[in-house]
Amino acid sequence: MSEVGLAVVGVTACNMQLGLHPFNIVGEKYLLAIADATQSWPLVIPALGHCPAEVVLSRLDGILFTGSPSNIEPHHFDGPASDEGTHHDPKRDATTLPLLKAAIDAGVPVLAICRGFQEMNVVFGGSLHQKLHELGGFIEHREDKTKSVEVQYGISHEVQIEPGGLLHDAWGRSSAEVNSVHTQGVDRLGVGLRPEAYATDGLIEAFSVRNAKNFALGVQWHPEWKALDSPFYTAIFEAFNKACQRRAASRVK
């Protein structure tokens, strides 16, 4: 990768206890997707429970809000208390929720994946189903944890893509096949969000921010998984990259 035109993309971390110490960690698949599928370099944003957003955003050309094993604490969307044992990450919530809104307001390109997608919905006043599989009426969106990771992140279902949006502009087609590795999903859509794709059961699987100053797309699936092996996933990162490159060019003027 040439350093000419190299943009810098923030990648959000999770706060996780490993042994006796707390760590900030990011799945390598997200870092590789930025490094390999864009003309950008990933820079990890730690989940310390606070973030000097104005300073951080002034130095970034885009932000990828990652997926995570944890769920957003339901008090952020006035949801009922989670079942005992649910994995939460309050320091991530306290970091990413205000940072996401600040990034969109500042015109920093945003790509939000899985938990990041759910964070975007919550930031705009939306709510989440905490356990889709217990509601009825939805297809199985969870991965089979008894299978290999290759199977878990393999193609699971089709999504129908809405015309005229960021996703359709990037892909140029009305449908695509995606993986599905999530338990939660959109209940009430956030104010100002535009549905971009639906699963076959009607669940919103992608949205963008209406009237955003720059690229702001959230997807429920995981396009970072072997992004270069899927033309659809690659197209998403290429569209994100174009926005990051434009911001990088404007920042060095």
Burial letters 46-56, b for 16+ CB under 10 A, else e? bbeeebebeeb
73, 141, 143, 222: the active-site residue? 222
Q: What is the mean pLDDT of the chain?
A: 95
Active site residue 244: no
CA distance 14 to 95: 10
Residue 24 scores a pLDDT above 70: yes
91, 185, 218 from 48: Cα distances, Å: 6, 26, 23
pLDDT at 188: 97
Residue 58 scores a pLDDT above 50: yes
Q: Is the four-CA dihedral 49, 52, 56, 62 of positive or negative sign?
A: positive
Taking residues 130-149, report their average pLDDT: 92
Q: What is the DSSP string of 123-162?
A: HTT--EES-GGGTSSS---S--TTS-HHHHTS--EEEEEP
Helix (H) or strand (E) holding 110: strand 110-113
Residue 1 scores a pLDDT above 50: no
Residues 6+ apart with CB under 8 A from 207: 117, 120, 121, 186, 189, 190, 193, 194, 195, 196, 217, 218
169-212 pLDDT tens trace: 999 999 999 999 999 999 999 999 999 999 999 999 999 999 99
Q: How many helices (H) and strands (E) does the chain have?
A: 7, 13
Burial-class residue 92 by CB neighbours within 10 Å (0-12, 13-18, 19+).
buried
184-196 pLDDT tens trace: 999 999 999 999 9
250 confidence band (pLDDT: 50, 70, 90): confident
Residue 5 scores a pLDDT above 90: no
3 confidence band (pLDDT: 50, 70, 90): low
Q: What percent of the chain has pLDDT over 70?
A: 97
Q: What is the dihedral of CA 144, 127, 206, 237, to 10 degrees?
A: -80
143, 162, 224, 244: the active-site residue? 224
What is the domain partition of the chain in residue ranges?
Answer: 8-252
Domain 8-252 has CATH 3.10.129.10: no
pLDDT at 253: 61
Burial letters 206-237, b for 16+ CB under 10 A, else e? bbbbeebebbbbbbbbbbbbbbeebebbbbbb
Active site residue 157: no
Residue 110 scores a pLDDT above 70: yes
Bigger pLDDT: 86 or 31?
31
CB half-sphere exposure, 81, CA atoms < 13 A: 3
CA nearest 242: which of 172, 148, 169?
Answer: 169
114, 143, 162, 205: the active-site residue? 114
CA distance 73 to 165: 30
Active site residue 133: no
Report the predicted TM-score, pTM, of the whole model to 2 decimal places: 0.96
pLDDT at 125: 98
pLDDT at 6: 86
CB half-sphere exposure, 246, CA atoms < 13 A: 12
Residue 2 scores a pLDDT above 70: no
Q: Are 183 and 130 in contact (CB under 8 A)?
A: yes
